[in-house]
Amino acid sequence: MKDFINKLYRNHSLIYKALLFVSTTFLIVYLFPKSGKFKYNFEKGKPWQSENLLAPFDFAIKKTTDEVNTEKKAIIEEAVLYFIVDSIVKPKIKNDFENSFFEVFPDSIPTKQLSLLKQVGHDILNELYQYGILNEDYNFSEKRTVAILEERTKIQDALFSNLVKQSQVSSIIDKVLRSNNLIEYKTAFTSLFFDLVEPNLTYDKSFTEKVIQEELDKISYTRGSVAKGTLIISKGEVVEGDKYQKLESLRSEYESQVWNESNYNWVLFAYALLVALAMLMLLLFLRKYRNEVYENNTKVTFIFFNIILLIFLTTFVVNYNSKYIYIVPICVLPLVLKAFFDARLGLFTHVLTVLLLGFIVPNSYEYMFLQIIAGIVTILTVSELYKRANLFISVGQITLIYIIAYFAFFVIHEGSVETLKWETFIWFVLCGLATLFVQPLIYAYEKLFGLVSDVSLLELSDTNSKLLKELSDKAPGTFHHSLNVANLAEASANEIGANAMLVRVGALYHDIGKMKNPTYFTENQSTGINPHDELSSRESAQIIVSHVINGIEIAKKNNLPDRVIDFIRTHHGTSVVYYFYMKEKERLDDVNRDDFSYPGPKPFSKETAILMMCDSIEAASKSLKEPTSTKIDDFVESIIDKQIEEGQFLNANITFKEIQSIKKVLKYKLANIYHLRIEYPE
């Protein structure tokens, strides 16, 4: 049992990756649509490239979106409008008219004339309330059919033009009076009815909309059907018109049909296989080309997390409304991975993610082409992400590529630009704006996963930071040495394509451990007193070596990232404090070399190897007397060759060609530092 536990512990990293691989695969499959995939690809207006297609089962032909929308529009525009009549108003108005008539028309008017006027007043009321008076002006077509309800019971039908608007009351009074040759009484009747007339019709919006919705629900989304075995399309025929609609209907039916338990399990199994293959390719890529990332479980988890996040966002948008699919900022993935790792890993992961998204999105080929091209543009254009202008320029270029590619696809599909959906360009612009969110996202990832981006490195390279100011105060010589090493290391990194910002920051902090005992290091001995004179060689060597351990402690206390602490650990590798080692050998014959060696580890990256070379060269260059070009060349060659002989660079992925390039840069830089001039003959 103990051996089994020990074996598990030794392989815990591999076990974790296996669990991460399996859980990621199942989570992605869970997000995928649980249906089959139509095995034929076709485009409207293009020839059918596959064999003759017969209907595999009976299915209905779906109406096009335009057909359905036309039917809906017709139902909405022709729907009956329902108005509720207040049955109390009309009798009340007639009663009020009887009571108010003689107040307006005096008894001095002849009885016959008075009787005629009263009858005309009743005619006006009947005209006004034949259908009713609206309580407000409604903006409906005059030809719309209207149903008038009393206590939810329809009492009469009419046209909307039959209903009286309040603004029409005066004209109706005028019309009735003219027909009876009593126009001279218009002022009196208008005055009378001004106080009497009340609206009695109210539009019942909720009931009307309910009836309309019932009619909309009755719409059939299919027209006709295709029987099993019927020829749908022959090879070489152009996919258009009814044939296109039949193919669309078959694809929709095939992908949305209800699966039995056996088919459902097979579909899940097939999806799991494809997703597992994609994730396996990513792991194999990491193991072969990015082993330092593969060995770090946090970094592997970070990459898998970003893939799951984008697939989740895309699935969410597709389920909500697939027309917004291009708002999802897929290019955030290569941006983030390039910020923390490198361009090659970012592009490889981006392509795999887009391939997986092809199972989710409509028009998968078009989508994948657009996103892969956009990812390539992202990798090619985004450099020095810590410079804000660069990100804005790159996002603008990515958005432009989206628009150009989408425009090309649309013209290929439709053959013209007349029906171009300009709103899609707005989605691309919104996608670009969402991509700008990468900056705060990178900051959040740094805190969550303990990673370091160029943005953080830029902040750490500020010599006014608390830790570097403390170094300049306590150990000014060391601080000046670190600045010189940083300049040499940055130039060397640029020469071979390494991370110049990372190596510069590493150089600035690599000797912070010397703050604990600054006067024991020659660059800080300004008084001419050397405290090593009072110590044994072994004690002196221990103090010198301990600056690495002290530096690591100070760095951790100040929350420096692990990638920066790596430079403190490795900048001396496993080399020997040669001066005190040889001094001890003069005193004793048997000296343990390990007592005078740094604990290591050896440099394990190009950047840490560069720092080791530059640190040794800069420190030793102080001993050069009357330097010449030849002396500097020999000096650089001897120091770096000695490090190679000691095997200090065996774990670093740096080539001899790159080392030669670094030597060349260091020779040139030292020559400039010592202001060497060409000696002209007298």
Domain residue limits, the chain: 2-31+261-434, 74-215, 454-673
CA nearest to 128, candidates 192, 204, 189, 200 = 200
- Give CA–CA dist 589/581, Å, rounded: 11
- Rounded distance between C-alpha atoms, residue 341 and residue 381, angstroms: 16
Over the range 202-233, which residues count as b (16 or more CB within 10 Å of their CB) and which as e? Answer: bbbeebbeebbeebeeeeeeeeeebeeeeebb
What is the secondary structure of 542-586 as a DSSP string?
HHHHHHHHHHHHHHHHTT--HHHHHHHHHTTTT-B-HHHHHHHHH
Enumerate residue ranges in the chain where pLDDT < 70. Answer: 1-9, 34-41, 43, 107, 254-263, 383-388, 414-415, 675-682
* Structural tokens at position 8: 């598990």
What is the rounded CA–CA span in Å between residue 182 and residue 119? 12
What is the per-residue pLDDT for 664? 94
Q: Phi and psi for 83 in degrees, rounded to 5?
A: -125, 140
How far apart (Å, rounded) are the C-alpha atoms in residues 467 and 459? 12
Q: Options 1.10.10, 1.20.58, 1.10.3210, 2.30.30; which CATH number does 454-673 get?
A: 1.10.3210
Residue 655: what pLDDT? 92
Look at residues 135, 278, 119, 296 and name the one whose alpha carbon lies nearest to residue 201: 135
3-class DSSP state of 615:
helix
Q: Hey, what amino acid is at 532?
A: H
Task: Count Cβ atoms within 10 A of the Cβ of residue 483 and give its class: 0-12 exposed, 13-18 middle, 19 or more buried.
Answer: middle
CA 584 to chain centre: 62
Rounded CA separation 146/202 (Å): 12
Closest C-alpha among 553, 555, 451 to residue 506: 555
DSSP type of residue 96: H
Q: Give 362's contacts (C-beta < 8 A, 6+ positions apart).
A: 318, 322, 325
Tell me what pLDDT residue 258 has: 47
- Give yes or no for a contact between 284 and 345, defined as CB atoms under 8 angstroms apart: no
Query: Could you give the angle at the alpha carbon of 621 between the alpha carbons of 542 and 529, nearest 5°?
Result: 50
Task: Please check whether residue 547 is in contact with residue 517, taking contact to mean a CB–CB distance below 8 angstroms.
Answer: yes
Cβ(197)–Cβ(168) below 8 Å: no
What pLDDT score does 355 carry? 94
- For the beta carbon of residue 31, count every other beta carbon within 10 angstroms: 18
Measured between alpha carbons, how far is 391 from 383 in angstroms, rounded to an integer?
8
Q: How far is residue 290 from each of residues 86, 160, 681, measured CA to CA in Å?
A: 81, 76, 55
Q: What is the pLDDT of residue 351?
A: 95
The 3-state DSSP class for residue 7 equals helix
Count other Cβ atoms within 10 Å, centred on residue 677.
8
**Is there a contact between 61 and 246 (Cβ–Cβ < 8 Å)?**
yes
**Pairing assessment for the beta strands 145-150 and 81-85 based on DSSP bridges:** parallel
Predicted pLDDT of residue 420: 76
Burial 436-473 (b: 16+ CB within 10 A, else e): eebbebbeebbeeeebbbbbbbbebbeeeeebbeebbe
Q: Greatest CA span in the chain, whole angstroms?
A: 153
Antiparallel, parallel or unpaired: β 59-62 and 222-226: antiparallel
Using alpha carbons, select from 417, 423, 411 the residue that is nearest to residue 43. Answer: 411
Residues 6+ apart with CB under 8 A from 627: 635, 670, 674, 676
Place of tokens 């950047």: 607
